[in-house]
Amino acid sequence: AAVAVAPGPRTAEEPPSGTATYGRVAFHAFGRPGLHVLDSIMTILLLGILVAYECAIMSFLAPTPLSTGSAAGDAVLWTAVVIAPLTCVPDMGHLGKFSACGIAAVLATFVVIFWYGLVESGLGGFGM
């Protein structure tokens, strides 16, 4: 005969639903404050990456006809060009299909850089 055992109270609190794996580790290691600290640190990191990216793009675009002539104008314009379409996507999971396009763009960039170096320096450019 099977004996039914009533489940006891949960001994460990679960992280909020939708928490990523990294956040779950922080939650179980340090509790709710650890999760909030991790979220804050990740937000600061990503904002730093965004600022560095904006600075790089502005310096690359400054000498081209794509520039508005103003650093602030370029920052606002190109941020809006990238962010505006992303705000129309209801589920960011749909963008996963474009990751292959991103990898292809990075590969094409490397090919262009390699070709430019080869044309400018020839095979002698590979020597030390």
- pLDDT tens for the chain, 128 residues long, are 666 666 655 557 889 898 989 999 999 999 999 999 999 999 999 999 888 888 887 787 788 887 888 878 888 887 888 888 888 888 877 777 788 888 998 999 999 989 988 888 888 877 76
pTM exceeds 0.85 = no
Query: Which residues contact residue 71 at a Cβ distance below 8 angstroms, ignoring those fewer than 6 apart?
Result: 58, 62
Structural domain contains residue 8:
no
- Residue 80 located in a structural domain: yes
Boundaries of domain holding 25:
19-88
In-domain check, residue 1? no
- Whether 125 maps to a domain, the answer reads no
31's CB contacts (< 8 A; 6+ apart) are 13
Q: In angstroms, rounded to a whole number, what is the distance separating the alpha carbons of residues 41 and 29?
A: 16
The tally of domains found in the chain comes to: 1
Whether residue 124 is contained in a domain is answered as: no
Q: What angle do CA 115, 116, 117 make, to 5 degrees?
A: 90
Would 73 be classed as within a structural domain? yes
Length of the chain equals: 128
